[in-house]
Amino acid sequence: MQRVETLDELLVAEPSVLTPPTPAEVQDETENLQVLTRAVERIWRQAHEEVEREREQQRRAAERARFNLD
Amino acid sequence: MNSQARLVIPGAVLQQAIRALERSHADWLACTVERASRQSGEDWLTRGLARGRQLPDPALVVARTPVLPVAFASPTAVLYLRQGEPPRAYLLDSRGQRRPMGLLILAPGLPEVGATVAPAPDAERWSRVAGALGDYAWRRLCRLHYLIVGCGRNGSLIAHALARIGAHRMTLVDPDTTELCNLDGDGFLPDHITRPKADALAESLRAVNPTLEVQALPHSASDYRILPAAREADVLITAVDDDGARWTVAHLSVLYLKPMLDVGTGVLHTESGEPLIGADIRWLVPGECCLLCTGGVANPQQVEVVRQGLYAEQQHRAQRHWQRERLGSLRSLNMMATGLALRTLEDYLAMRLHTSRWLRLVYQDATPQLHELGHGAPNRNCLCAHTGGGDKLLTQPLDSIRQISHSEPWVPNPVVR
Ligand SMILES: [Zn+2]
């Protein structure tokens, strides 16, 4: 299988647009990407926490008494 | 930046997918999608996690690795996620070539990348709004395309408020013509009487903001001619006095993954003779909830009428008389309700509001009270079953229709009952 480290190595370049984006548009898109990244991070964190809670609950449910001496 | 295809994924579905990845420690999983064409390209609408052993076609693959260990027979959307890196969407064709896709997540801020860039709004004219909302939220608010269904009091107030804070694109839907009693809405002039409300409102909006792209559709919400506009829009706004129209738009909202802002007001008769004055404002994000699981509709019979077709709907409209349904209308109440609706949208775009919301304003002994009623959750009997269903599920029957037509009428305010 192909060994690649980043997605960019795989993506086909977009056909060049007729008018290149202005610096303001580039800045907008950068900000949009930051907001999107943060949104996904937040969703990821919530999902991760939920799964951790589930695992903790399962672990507790699986616990059995171990100490049975006087 | 001019992506042909765009991946649209509800935040709630993305959360399910990530949860499943975390549980299984797998590198990727598949989701079901539907494709819907738009003027500017094609939307890949994410429906939910794929069940069963077979890969759905078409499919979205949510992957934690840039190289997928399988080949796909037909074009497949891939959402590549790696912690600490920006998420990327691309289309993998059957030859294994990858082309970038636009990406829209139905989450706070409605973040989107790879969209066609609309002209930058005039920062000087709207510096106050931008200052209050923050630059991102204001730009987002300006660049969203709003489909406003209902151009009466609430609809005209919302349209004018949006135009005045810099909104760039709007489509107005209303089958009625302007009458004398409509002049208490925003933008209507005596000259507009007998003209379609949607046209008259569009004209007044252009006067406020000549750069506004506004399209008027003098049709009913259930008319097939509004479908292209619904697919094109980013946010659907309902400001109607008919639950058939409200329900129709709610269905489009879940089918095409368009968040919906619904405003309903009322100055209603009560047995005590004291008018019941209130408003319901609902912000409904597909994947989280829909109109039916978040309060439903007050008049399910009107939904039945819409389902019988346009002719029945026209007959029904002709027979309706406002005095049987309400005491009257109050512009002051419309202003409060539309103000709350717009504030809700602003807060979601500014990422201060994190979920869908149902707000109720009600007057009790001349005192306004605001209730936060929370939002519903998808269930078997609501529209959520059609989330992301696109054109394919547009004409499919819904169990929910039977359910709502037999449910108890929803009473505007149980407190005063
Ligand atoms: Zn629902």
DSSP states along B351-383 = TS--S-EEEEEEEETTEEEEEE-------TTSG
Query: Hey, are the CB atoms on B1 and A17 less than 8 Å from each other?
Result: yes
Quick one: pLDDT at residue A6? 67
DSSP state of B110: -
Mutate to test the interface with B, among A14, A34, A43 (most CBs of B within 10 A): A43
Beta strand pairing status for B28-38 and B59-63?
antiparallel
Query: Hey, are the CB atoms on B113 and A33 less than 8 Å from each other?
Result: yes
Tokens of B187: 């933008």
Quick one: pLDDT at residue B318? 76
Q: Note the helical H segments in B25-147.
A: 127-133, 135-143
With CA atoms as reference, the chain B residue closest to A23 would be B120
A13 contacts: CB under 8 Å, gap ≥ 6: none
- Say yes or no: A57 contacts chain B, CB-CB below 8 A: no
B168 contacts: CB under 8 Å, gap ≥ 6: B118, B119, B121, B142, B143, B145, B211, B212, B213
Domain ranges within chain B, ordered by starting residue: 6-113, 127-406
Angle between helices B331-349 and B135-143 (to 10 degrees): 120
What does chain A come to in residues?
70
* Closest-CA residue to B413 (of B356, B383, B373): B373
Quick one: pLDDT at residue B407? 35
Q: How far is B100 from chain A (nearest CA, A)?
A: 7
* Closest-CA residue to A38 (of B135, B107, B352): B107
What does chain B come to in residues?
417
Query: What's the CA gap between B412 and B277, in Å, rounded?
Result: 10
Q: Which residue has the higher pLDDT, A9 or A31?
A: A31
Query: Hey, are the CB atoms on A48 and B18 less than 8 Å from each other?
Result: yes
Distance between Cα B283 and ligand 1 center (Å): 13
- Say yes or no: A29 contacts chain B, CB-CB below 8 A: yes
Residue A33: its chain B contacts at CB < 8 A? Answer: 86, 113
- Taking any CB pair shorter than 8 Å as contact, residues of chain B touching chain A are 1-3, 11, 14-16, 18-19, 22-23, 66-67, 69, 80-81, 83, 85-88, 90, 97-100, 103, 105, 107-109, 111-114, 117, 120, 135-136, 139, 351
Query: Hey, are the CB atoms on A10 and B105 less than 8 Å from each other?
Result: no
- Mean pLDDT, rounded, of chain B: 88
* Closest-CA residue to B248 (of B278, B217, B290): B290
Residue B92: its chain A contacts at CB < 8 A? Answer: none
* Closest-CA residue to B265 (of B146, B118, B409, B157): B157
Residue B27: its chain A contacts at CB < 8 A? Answer: none
Q: Which residue from B15, B81, B108 is facing A46, i.e. has the nearest CB? A: B15
Per-residue pLDDT tens over the stretch A17-61: 556 778 888 888 899 999 999 999 999 999 999 999 999 999 988
Mutate to test the interface with B, among A35, A41, A46, A53 (most CBs of B within 10 A): A35
Quick one: pLDDT at residue B4? 80
E-assigned strands of B17-87? Answer: 28-38, 41-49, 59-63, 76-80
Is residue B148 within 8 Å of residue B237, measured between CB atoms? Answer: yes
Give me the residues of chain B with pLDDT under 50, please: 1-2, 400-417
With CA atoms as reference, the chain A residue closest to B82 would be A41
Q: How far is A61 from chain B (nearest CA, A)?
A: 17
Distance between Cα B304 and ligand 1 center (Å): 18
B145 CB neighbour count, 10 Å cutoff: 18
Query: Hey, are the CB atoms on A44 and B18 less than 8 Å from each other?
Result: yes
Pick the CATH number of B6-113 from 2.60.220, 2.60.40, 3.30.1560, 3.40.140: 3.40.140
Domain ranges within chain A, ordered by starting residue: 35-62
Query: What's the CA gap between B46 and B263, in Å, rounded?
Result: 27
List the strands of the sheet with B28-38, edge to edge.
B98-100, B88-92, B76-80, B59-63, B28-38, B41-49, B5-10, B102-106, B112-113
Distance between Cα A51 and ligand 1 center (Å): 25
Per-residue pLDDT tens over the stretch B376-393: 999 888 999 999 999 888
Quick one: pLDDT at residue B303? 86
Domain B127-406 sits in CATH 3.50.50.60:
no
Terminal-residue alpha carbon distance, chain B: 55
Quick one: pLDDT at residue B405? 36
Q: Which residue from B3, B22, B85 is facing A47, i.e. has the nearest CB? A: B22
Beta strand pairing status for B357-364 and B367-372?
antiparallel
With CA atoms as reference, the chain B residue closest to A5 would be B66
Quick one: pLDDT at residue B245? 92
**Is pLDDT of A11 > 90?**
no
pTM of the model: 0.90
